[in-house]
Amino acid sequence: MGDLPMLIALPLCMIVGTVLGGVWGGIAGWLKVKKDANEIIVTLMMNYVAIEIVRYLVSGPWRDPNGVEPFSATITRGAYMPILVPRTRLHIGLIIALLMVVLFWWLLRRTTFGYQLTVCGSNPDAAQTNGINKGKMIVLSMLISGGMSGLAGAIELMGVHHRLVEEVSPEYGFTAIIIAVLGRGNPIRVLFVSFLFSILTVGADGMRRSLGIPVSVGSILQALVLLFVLGSEFYERRLLTKERIEAQAAGEGGVK
């Protein structure tokens, strides 16, 4: 990108990341609609395709000729994320993430599109019956999800690594799946769950360095949180079902 000024380089990188991520997610959405391909399996498989593409780029045409490890040359200084707190890695990507939370809360709670998206996600058949284009909503949701993932990747590159490397994301996507399940489609709840999981991740890394405890302890704690929440939901549904059956039985007994 040469020596582009920050006002051009920063938005340009974020737009490119968002567009490429949106296209990547849109492919999975299209396959879901046209071929009824399971989106979870498709996106997991596409992850490996993306990894190999990045590996080829940083080992071949984009490899830094002055580097030893396979990575690209450093991006232009104008594309660096400005640091919020000196002597830390906390950059304005945090503010962008918070703005995205507010934007998507408004989109889901205050717009017709958000209502249609929510209904389609909770009950696709009912949405189709009520005239909502289920296929269109699936593709758009995957486009948006992919775009946000691409934006997050661009922010990570511009704020932390400042170059393209093979392992840009240490399995953030798998953690995001757990956070999405616990967030239940509520952007505000997702924000707090993300904060909790970041504490678990950073804390596990700190224990590894200071006490020699395996970093996998953090993953185990995350899994336990998910299991307890899902288990409580299952128990709650069972309890509600039992109460409903007992109420129906009591009503039928009263009629007789």
- Range with the lowest mean pLDDT among 116-120, 136-140, 209-213? 209-213
Whether 126 and 143 map to the same domain: the answer is yes
Whether 112 and 135 map to the same domain: the answer is yes
Instruction: Quickly state the pLDDT bin for 255 (edges 50, 70, 90).
Output: low
Whether 59 and 159 map to the same domain: the answer is yes
pLDDT of residue 2: 61
Whether 165 and 182 map to the same domain: the answer is no
pLDDT of residue 153: 94
Whether 86 and 136 map to the same domain: the answer is yes
203: containing domain: 171-256
Whether 20 and 142 map to the same domain: the answer is yes
Whether 42 and 164 map to the same domain: the answer is yes
Other CB atoms closer than 10 Å to residue 13's CB: what's the count? 22
Pairwise CA distance, residues 110 & 112, whole Å: 7
Whether 175 and 201 map to the same domain: the answer is yes
Query: How does the average pLDDT of the chain come out, rounded?
Result: 89
Q: Point out the domain boundary residue: 169, 194, 218.
A: 169
Instruction: Quickly state the pLDDT bin for 222 (edges 50, 70, 90).
Output: confident
Pairwise CA distance, residues 246 & 9, whole Å: 64
Q: Are 78 and 6 in contact (CB under 8 A)?
A: yes
Q: Point out the domain boundary residue: 169, 194, 220.
A: 169
Instruction: Count CA atoms closer than 13 A to 6's CA, side-chain side.
Output: 6
pLDDT tens digits, one per residue of 69-104: 899 999 999 999 999 999 888 999 999 999 999 999
Torsion of CA 82, 10, 46, 67, to 10 degrees: -70
Q: Phi and psi for 83 in degrees, rounded to 5?
A: -80, 135
Q: Is 242 exposed, middle or buried (0-12, 13-18, 19+ CB in 10 A)?
A: exposed
pLDDT of residue 85: 93
DSSP conformation letters of 92-122: THHHHHHHHHHHHHHHHHHSHHHHHHHHHHH
Instruction: Quickly state the pLDDT bin for 252 (edges 50, 70, 90).
Output: low
Whether 160 and 199 map to the same domain: the answer is no
Whether 119 and 9 map to the same domain: the answer is yes
pLDDT score of 157 more than 90: yes
pLDDT of residue 128: 83
pLDDT tens digits, one per residue of 191-218: 999 999 888 888 888 888 888 888 788 7
pLDDT of residue 254: 55
Six-digit token string for 142: 């995957």
Whether 61 and 113 map to the same domain: the answer is yes
Q: Are 29 and 143 in contact (CB under 8 A)?
A: yes
Whether 116 and 178 map to the same domain: the answer is no
Domain count for the chain: 2
